[in-house]
Amino acid sequence: MKNVKQTILAITIGSLFVSGTATANELFDFTGYARAGISTTSDGGEQGCFGSGADGHYAGRLGDECETYMELGFGKGFELDGDKSVYVNSRLSYETAQGAQFNDYQSGTEPGSPSSASDIALREINVVANGYLDFAPEASIWAGKRFYKRRDVGLLDLFYLNNSGYGAGLENVSTGLGDFSAAWMVADQDAFAGKANASGFRVVQVNKLDLRLDNIELSDNAKLGLAMIYGSGDLNNSQDVAKEPSDSGFFLSAYADYSVFEGTHTAVIQYSNDAMADSAWSNASGSKVETYATWEGNLDHSLRFIAYGNQPISETLKFDYSLLYAQAETLSSVNVSEDKPYRLSMVISPYYQWDDVHATRLELGYSQQKESYNVEDQDLYKIMLVQEFSPQLTDTLTPMLRAYAGSFFGNVAENERGANNDGEDGNIRFGVQMTASW
């Protein structure tokens, strides 16, 4: 049945493509993002970090990024007659382990070598076609592997809506109320039964239906977006006979982008349950589907509120901010330290813009959380002073150099280094980091 679905989808998309001719302007896109830096601490050695791009930084990401990370995107496009276009997109990423800085050579392909604490991954490979639908010429069709309509809090490196991966869909159909998008996405979950796949792993395929309605105008300065992701396990025959669990669940999101006193702000509310229960709790929200629970501490449902934005006070003084609160409930209270886990995050980052390229920033952060396996609250405080150099070379290229100094406090910082009785609590860290996006 899966093969039939995929064949029908391929034929449908293929028939749309043959109707156009590539007598077109050829385009090449090179996009990317990178961060890397050097750092040390007053106690010596590498700084310890309390978050990552996968987990988010709930006390703020400045001064808390230990890994080197890079994405390189390469795209080939054709602009055709009649407002039609076709793009082929690809993206690779490179990431080191936290704190892994091996001089001038690092390899992800030499097992056992000290320099092999790194990873290269395929993040995107897809085709997007615009202008081929007679009933909605403004819309796009796409298929492949894709970063799909992601939304994030930059201060935390937290993607609170991120149903990325393999899929196909219809995007940005104008309805008069808003822009409608629908996608079929798939994900894999570990299984105990069934035939092993090509890599020798047993997995349950999870089908996800992703529906969006964006750009709903509330006023001249406010727009609303709605998202619904439904995920359900799709068992094969042997998994069905073995009675593999194949739970389903919903992840619902509402997000409003608005402007007040020349500031840009976003408010978000999210709810998820059952197989999607982690979605309103973790980073990369919407990508993870738990078709069955592995222990009593797995979540039954979760609720999350987020507010973030940027507000100018004057032409030179501005601040970024984020507020987050998440509350969940576990499947059971048996063998669980906390059956109602919660998370609180508050970050404020005021900065003074000296001129077009120089700014001084003070970032204050606080997080408190209690996961289902925590006996005590996990508290983390941060203060970080940063001098930024950021020339905007073009509309899309903005490199940045940051020199920073600061410290973390709280029991999370105390427990960061087991070999040091003081941990990272009050340990001053300083360094220089580059980031760039283009």
Cα-Cα-Cα-Cα dihedral sign, residues 147, 148, 151, 156? negative
Distance of CA 182 to the CA centre of its chain: 20
Nearest C-alpha neighbor of 287 from the set 108, 123, 103, 88: 123
Residue 64 pLDDT = 95
Q: Where are the beta strands (DSSP E) in 157-200?
A: 158-161, 165-174, 179-190
Q: How far apart (Å, rounded) are the C-alpha atoms in residues 309 and 248?
A: 34
Q: How far apart are CA 341 and CA 376, in angstroms?
A: 11
Between CA 164 and CA 175 the distance in angstroms is 24
The pLDDT of residue 422: 62
pLDDT value, residue 23: 56
Per-residue model confidence (pLDDT) at position 202: 76
The whole-number pLDDT of residue 73 equals 97
Domain ranges of the chain: 2-298+417-427
Bridge partners, 226 (sequence order) = 213, 254
Angle at 92 between CA 279 and CA 67, to 5 degrees: 70
DSSP 8-state secondary structure symbol assigned to residue 147:
-
Q: What are phi and psi of 2, to 5 degrees?
A: -65, -45
Tens digit of pLDDT at every position of the chain (438 positions):
444 344 434 434 444 444 444 456 888 999 999 999 999 999 887 788 899 888 999 999 999 998 899 999 999 999 988 789 999 999 999 998 776 677 777 777 776 676 777 889 999 999 999 999 999 999 999 999 999 999 999 999 999 999 999 999 999 999 999 999 999 999 887 766 666 666 667 778 889 999 999 999 999 999 999 999 999 988 878 777 777 777 899 999 999 999 999 999 999 999 999 999 999 999 999 998 888 777 899 999 999 999 999 999 999 999 999 999 999 999 999 999 999 999 999 999 999 999 999 999 999 999 999 999 988 999 999 999 999 999 988 777 889 999 999 999 999 998 876 545 567 889 999 999 999 999
pLDDT at 241: 78
Single pTM value for the model: 0.90
Task: Please tell me the predicted confidence (pLDDT) of residue 307.
Answer: 98
pLDDT at site 312: 97
* Parallel/antiparallel/unpaired status of strands 222-234 and 248-260: antiparallel
- Relative to beta strand 299-312, strand 317-330 is antiparallel
Taking the CA atoms of 325, 59, 158 and 320 in sequence, report the sign of the dihedral they define: positive
Bridge-based pairing of strands 342-353 and 358-370 is antiparallel
CATH number of 2-298+417-427: 2.40.170.10
Q: What are phi and psi of 18, to 5 degrees?
A: -70, -10
